[in-house]
Amino acid sequence: MSLVCEYKKCRRSGLFPVFLAGGLLAAAVPAMNMFFRSELYLHRPQTPLTILLEANWQMMGMLNLFLVLAGASVLYHMEFADRAFLRMETLPQSMFGMFIRKYLVLVSVILMAFALEAASLAGVSICWFGMTEGMWNELGRQMGCLLVKMLPALALMLAVSSASENLWITLGVGVTGIFAALILSGAGRQNHILQLFPFLLPLETAWTDGRLLLAAGAETAAILAAGQGYLCIRRRFR
């Protein structure tokens, strides 16, 4: 099946409206924060985008993680419904190919949410701080880095969803991971090992540490490879 078919299957799942609403909610965070507490941020020495991300990204990142959790759960739950996944395993097609297509669908919808959030950050920055030199380049760089840090959690949640027919197990794993990341967020800034926790990486705000980006890429590749191995073993012993 093609990527277009995956998008068609998602049309009735509510995936796109949920990510649109979630992206708008996350985009409203910096605007509301500046509207009610602008005096706390206007005189800081950092660049406007750095100020906004440090003040708002943990909440925005957490909302993005909940979107990823919901999206990953829905994408495979609709395959397990009425035992459709078992019938698909009998067909001459790659289960890992389907996994990658679902991964690309999830990346595309989180990109939609990120685009709304980037537009909000740009608008808030211009409204309260004025247009600054290099703002667009900084915005693109920061949002790109934050997206890369989101990819391990996205791959992990989709792998968990593909391994569990029970929707509540996927939701439980995801919620546990998100709250564990919130608990560890303070210690993670001093501990380089904790920083690599897939649910903690997306909450790292404006820091564009190249080592973290490389680690995020390596984690994503490792999780996708583990997903491929699991799906191959699962199909062999069915």
Which amino acid is located at 214 in the chain? L
pLDDT of residue 206: 47
The overall average pLDDT reported for the chain is 84
The total number of structural domains that make up the chain: 1
Q: Is the pLDDT of residue 229 over 70?
A: yes
3-state secondary structure of 42: coil
CA distance linking residue 178 with residue 68, whole number of Å: 11
Domain holding 93, by residue range, is 3-236
Q: Is the pLDDT of residue 129 over 70?
A: yes
| pLDDT mean over 114-125 | 94
Mean pLDDT of 95-117: 89
Q: Which two tokens stand for residue 141?
A: 């760089």
pLDDT digits 0-9 by tens, 75-93: 877 777 666 555 565 565 6
Closest to 77 in 3D by CA, of 166, 171, 177? 166
The phi and psi torsions of 135 (rounded to 5 degrees) equal -60, -45
Query: Is the separation of the CB atoms in 202 and 135 below 8 Å?
Result: no
Q: Tokens in use for 225?
A: 């490879």
Question: Higher-confidence residue: 124 or 81?
Answer: 124
Give pLDDT tens digits for 168-180: 888 899 999 998 8
d(C-alpha 213, C-alpha 209), whole Å: 7
- Closest by CA to 68, choosing from 38, 33, 40, 105, is 105
pLDDT computed for residue 132 by the predictor: 81
With the CA atoms of 14, 65, 50 and 128 taken in that order, what torsion angle do they form, in degrees rounded to the nearest 10?
40
At how many degrees (to 10) do helices 167-188 and 48-80 cross? 160
What are the pLDDT digits (tens) for 182-215?
888 766 566 677 778 889 888 876 455 677 888 8
Residue located via tokens 């564009």: 208
Using the predicted structure, report yes or no on whether residue 152 has a pLDDT greater than 90: yes
